[in-house]
Structure 1
Amino acid sequence: MNTILHKAATRGHANHGWLNSHHTFSFANYQNPERMNFGVLRVLNDDSVQARMGFGTHPHDNMEIISIPLEGDLEHKDSMGNVTIIKEGDVQAMSAGTGVTHSEKNKNKDKEVKFLQIWIVPKEKNIRPKYDQISLKDIEKENELYQILSPNKEDQGVWIHQDAWFHIGKFTKGNTATYKIKKEGNGIYAFILEGEVEIQSEELSERDGLGIWDTESIQIKATENARILLMEVPMGM
């Protein structure tokens, strides 16, 4: 088993006033050759956007883009004709493929929106762009890991063009879980959304990240009430 630890305080940081962003991996003006990616997980941004502000229309191609709102409402518009609101308890996946443009705006008048933006390198280039969004309210569980993303559109959660699986777990103090790798050779990146957990004897706090590979499973224990995001991804780019 191999691991890499990224403590919250070691992330890249950019505060633009309207946008306060922390970067687990190199992004924009934060460039760290030792923090380029974890397998096909290329970007993990922890963003806060002020009221009525947002990202203007901009392009993407050949990337799987996942947005997970943590607080507030985010309006999404894209060149495929989608105009939607994603909010806490939703997950959105957009396959940029041959190319799309989109914008994201905080729809709240008086509070910021907080969300994770995650980029996954696809296993095939120049696919037809697509959009997927679901509410997690009907599938979330207490003290269990539940799947929110997979490579199969027939499975639970949104789907993307990569052999990746995402799970969220909300645990009360003292509860445990085991996660088993779904595809041989994949690794797991654990990101702590809230609270404190112990994974493979490593103590982790809010916004810490832990990458693990060359293993068949991991053990999770909530040392305080906690919520975590597990991202299983191929380790080769």
Structure 2
Amino acid sequence: MATFLQQPAQIYKAHLRGHFESDVHRCLATFNFKTYQDESRMPYQKLQVWNEEVLAPKITMRNTVEDNCGILLLPLIGAIDCRVGAETHFIMTGQAYFFTLPKKTDFEIQNPYENEQVNYLQIRLKCHKNFSEEQLLSFDLNTSGQLISIIDNPDFSFSIGMYRSRHEGIYKPEDTNHGIFAFALNGAFEFQNRLIENRDGLAIDNSESIEFESLTENALLLLLELKA
């Protein structure tokens, strides 16, 4: 990869995530969440929550948002039900569900299976008061070697890509003032001359162009661009 001046950045190592666990639910929090509070794990710009969660069969978790925010749910293993008000949405692997809620509003996530655990990401971002959106989106990772745009709205864009070992890529933010958060969902990457491994996150500021290289076979990258 090319040599260049490094932009301000912070790595969020997976083994340092906040860990909450009961008999029916496990939560690994990249940023400060509930009783997990650390100065090095403050929210990144409007990105407030990036949690990996595991839910036991037939269990429902109720969540309350503290601010006006957008919620993105991404099943990793199995499928989940999400109940917002009177509506329930079934979300499978290969899909992402995005919706917005006003502050102090509840939503529920349920494992619909009788005998199997589910694993999913719950992501929350602060959004404009007048911004309202709901989308159930599907994507196909059979096409490797490129970032697939899943969501692009006034507050953020969200992409996912699968890469073979030693594949090199370039991502160009819409604006250098936009924050970039990358997450190695599987495998390892050299991302802007920094190593991120399985479940590590990386926040980068002030970038005109970002270079990355996958270091393992079938490496999965999630990329979030936070717009001003």
1:63 and 1:9 mapped to 2: Cα distance? Answer: 27
Unaligned runs of 5+ in 2: 1-6
Alignment of 1:157-168 (within 5 A): 162=155, 164-168=156-160
Equivalent of residue 208 in structure 2, options 202, 216, 220: 216
Name 1:228's counterpart in structure 2: 221
Identity within the alignment, %: 26
Report the CA distance between 1:129 and its aligned residue. Answer: 4.8
| Maintained 8 Å contact 1:181/1:232 | yes
How many pairs are equivalent?
221
Please give the alpha-carbon distance, in whole angstroms, between the structure 1 residues aligned to 2:63 and 2:53: 17
Output the CA distance in 1 between the equivalents of 2:134 and 2:62.
18
Which deviates more, 38-47 or 127-136?
Answer: 127-136
| Residues 51/209 of structure 1: CA separation in 2 closer, same or farther (3 Å cut) | same
| 2:54 alignment partner AA | S
Counterpart of 2:184 (choices 183, 192, 195) is: 192
Q: Considering only aligned residues, what root-mean-square deviation do their CA atoms show, in Å?
A: 1.9
Could you give the per-residue CA deviations for residues 98-148 of structure 1, whole angstroms, max 9, x where no partner exists?
A: 6643211001112111111111111x22x37542212113x8631101111
Which residue identity lines up with residue 141 of structure 1 in the other structure? T
Match of 2:124 in 1: 119
Contact 2:65–2:103 (8 Å) recurs in 1: no
* Aligned residue in 1 for 2:4: none
Corresponding residue of 1:207? 199
CA 148–93 in structure 1, closer or farther in 2 if over 3 Å, else same:
same
Match of 2:110 in 1: 105
- What are the within-5 Å matches in structure 2 for residues 1-237 of structure 1? 1-56=7-62, 58=64, 61-79=67-85, 81-97=86-102, 100-122=105-127, 124-125=128-129, 127=130, 129-137=132-140, 141-151=143-153, 162=155, 164-225=156-217, 226-234=219-227
Residues 11, 196 of structure 2: 8 Å contact kept: no
Residue aligned with 2:179, SS: strand
Distance 1:201 1:132, change over 3 A: same
Paired residues of 1:96 and 1:130 also in contact (CA < 8 A)? no
Q: TM-score, normalised by structure 1?
A: 0.87
Shift of 1:60: 6.0
Query: What is the one-letter code of the residue matched to 1:147?
Result: S
Paired with 2:168 and 2:152, the residues of 1 have a C-alpha distance of 23
TM-score (norm 2): 0.90
Identify unmatched segments of 5+ residues in structure 1.
152-160
- On the 8 A contact 1:100/1:129 being kept in 2, the answer is no
Contact 1:63–1:97, Cα closer than 8 Å, also in 2: yes
* Whole-angstrom CA distance in 2 between matches of 1:185 and 1:128: 21
1:73 counterpart letter in structure 2 = A
Contact 1:198 / 1:204 at 8 angstroms: preserved in 2? yes
The alignment partner of 2:45 has SS state of coil
